Amino acid sequence: MVLDEFYKLNNGQRIPKLALGTWQTPNDVAAEVVATAIEAGYRHIDTAIAYENESGVGAGLKAALETTGIHRESVFITTKIPAEVKTYDDAVRSIQESMDRLDAFHIDMMLIHAPRPWNEMGSTSGNCYFKENIEVWKALEEAYEAGKIRTIGVSNFEIDDLNNILAGGRVMPAVNQIRVHIGHVPTELIDFCEQNGILVEAYSPNATGRLMNVPEVCAMAEKYHVSVPQLASRFVLQLGLLPLPKSTHKERILENAELDFEINSNDMAALLKMKGM
C-alpha cells in the first residue's frame, strides 16, 4: 500500500511516498481535513506560510494524534519559507513563526518556496537572487543543525538555482518540489535532481483539475477503473517522484490514496508523450 511506503532522502531521513497537499485549503477547515487524512493513513502533510493555514494544519495534527494514538514521529510535516523572504533575518523569523503556528517542537521539512518573489517568477531578466537565496539557505542550515528542522530543501528551483545552493551551501537540498503532471514533465530538471540525489516532489499532479478535461487521460483512467486524479498520482509515482494530491473532501482524500495498481509501459509512454497541459 502506497501510504505505507517511503523514499529515503539524501540525509538518511525517510519520507512517505504520498503527501496531502493543502494549497487553497482555508485555515478554518484545514484542521478537519488534516485530521481526516491522518486518520485515513496519510503520514505526510504539505503546507506553506503562503497558504495561511499552518495553524489549522497544526491543530489537525494534534487532534489526529490524540484520536489515533500514533506518535508525532510517524507524521511528516512540510512547510515553506515564502518566496518573498530573501534575507537571513527574515528567514530566521519565518522559521520560528512557522514552528509557533504549527505548535511544533520541530518541523520535518522546510523549503524555500521559490527562488524569486512570485511576481518575478517566469521572468527571463532581472535579479536571479543567488546571493539572497544563500542567505535564506544559511538560516535553514542553522535550524537544521540545531535540530529544529529535520530536512531542508527547495521548491520551484531550476538547474541554475540549484547549482547556486550546491556551490554556496553546506547542506545538500534533500528535495525540490516542482510542477510535474501528465502533459508537463520537465525531464532535464528531474534528471539533474536525480543525478544529485535530490528527490523531486510533484505538486499539482492533476494539473489543478485540467486533466479531467483531457479525453485521452479520462479514457485511460477508465481503462484502469480509477479516477483521473488516481491515474495522475500513479503516473508521478512510476516516474520515481512524490505526488502531492489535494482535496478537502473526505471521499476524495481516501480515493486519492488508493494507488495500488500499475500503469503498463506502453501507457506510461503514451502519457509521457502528451504535452502542453
Q: Which of 124, 125, 149, 121 has its CA nearest to residue 137?
A: 149
Whole-prediction pTM:
0.96
Give the C-alpha separation, 114 to 84, whole Å: 8
Angle at which helices 159-168 and 187-195 cross, to 10°: 20
Strands (E), the chain: 6-8, 14-16, 20-21, 44-46, 76-81, 107-112, 149-155, 175-179, 199-203, 242-244
Q: Which CATH number fits domain 2-273: 3.20.20.100, 3.40.50.300, 3.40.50.720, 3.30.565.10?
A: 3.20.20.100
- Classify burial at 98, counting beta carbons within 10 Å of its beta carbon; exposed 0-12, middle 13-18, buried 19 or more: buried
pLDDT digits (tens, 9 = 90+) for 185-224: 999 999 999 999 999 999 999 999 999 999 999 999 999 9
Positions of the chain with pLDDT under 50: none
pLDDT on residue 122: 79
pLDDT on residue 167: 98
Phi, psi values for residue 263, rounded to 5°: -80, 125
Sequence-separated (6 or more) residues with CB below 8 Å from residue 20: 33, 34, 37, 42, 44, 45, 46, 244, 245, 246, 253
| CB burial readout 174-197, b (16+ within 10 A) else e | bbbbbebbbbbbeeebbebbeeee
pLDDT digits (tens, 9 = 90+) for 96-133: 999 999 999 999 999 999 999 999 997 777 799 999 99
CB atoms within 10 A of CB 276: 5
pLDDT on residue 134: 98
* Contact indicator for 18, 30 with CB cutoff of 8 Å: no
Report CA-CA distances (Å) from 169 to 83, 138, 140, 149. Answer: 18, 7, 10, 16
Give the C-alpha separation, 178 to 158, whole Å: 9
* Mean of the per-residue pLDDT values of the chain: 96
pLDDT on residue 1: 85
Give the C-alpha separation, 195 to 91, whole Å: 28
What positions carry a catalytic annotation? 51
For residue 200, list its beta bridge partners. 176
Helix (H), strand (E) at residue 68: helix 54-68
Domain map of the chain by residue range?
2-273
